[in-house]
Amino acid sequence: MTRPRTGIVGIGNMGLAMALNLIDRGFDISVRDIRPDAEAIAAAAGARIQRSPASMARTVDLMIVVVVDAGQVESVLFGDEGAAPHLSEGSAVMVCSTVSPEDMAGWAERLARHGVGFIDGPISGGPARARDGSMTLMQCGAEAFVLMARPVLEALASRVVAVGERIGDGTRAKLMNNLLAGIHLAAAAEAFALAEHLGLDTRTLLDITSSSSGQSWIQQDRMRRALDDDFAPRAECRILTKDLSIATDCAARAGFRTPLGDAALSQFRQACADGLSELDDAALLLSARTRLPKPSSES
């Protein structure tokens, strides 16, 4: 199968790892980011640097957008130097950012006017799995465009899950995943902060929960780092805060109550208010610690 010429806009923690993975596998990769240092790393690995989304659009068959939020996606596609008018008919855009399903559907409709396909393609797994191609990718879009992009999708992710053709459903699936992730992380931070308050050895507790009914993947990943005071950002706290907000808004529009999601979102917002927004979301443990009273000293 022919490998599409591929561009990635937004080479942060995830986008850069994806680009390096594809370069290692022999793909023709262009990149664009607002940060020269990220572009320099990609260039040293063999990527071609584009000065704008518009210039990239003229040279690629598949543009992958891995920016933070809907406003940034809008700018990449339809801003002053946006890609949309310059993409060739039959090319495709895949948006991996976690945004609202309605935004995804709107971009797909607008790009279709230019004869450009759209893949709703949220990703999960973190930078390490993006680097080695073992992510999960929730793919949603018209079969012809998905087929064109398939070599890239299969290089990026060991699990490419076809959610369907209705644009937005890939994002809906990702939002449900992140709703669970946020709830699990908020619960883990609370439990481990309480364990410390009660005088338990938290590493022993982690060994117990990792093989017991209280285990979850996000607990094992995040709490292991948090207990080592490692809060270097792999996934910034503000990002999961944003994702939880979108997920609970999605539920509210559907008339569905999410009391656990709302409680988790409240804890994430408090962590951001505590000045932890740019730390790894494992820093939720730091915020949870502040909610517990100091242990009384023994007389």
User: What residues are labeled active site?
Assistant: 174
Structure tokens that stand for 177 in this block? 């995943």
The span from the CA of 11 to the CA of 169, in Å, is: 25
What are the start-end ranges of the E strands in the chain?
6-9, 29-32, 48-49, 62-65, 92-95, 117-120, 123-124, 135-141, 157-164
Phi, psi of 135 (to 5 degrees): -70, 170
Q: Residue 237 in contact with residue 274, Cβ under 8 Å?
A: no
Phi, psi of 85 (to 5 degrees): -70, -15
234: closest CA among 155, 156, 124? 124
The span from the CA of 92 to the CA of 266, in Å, is: 37
For residue 18, give the amino acid letter.
M
Q: Residue 149 in contact with residue 92, Cβ under 8 Å?
A: yes
Q: Kindly report the number of other CB atoms within 10 A of residue 129's CB atom.
A: 19
For residue 27, give the amino acid letter.
F
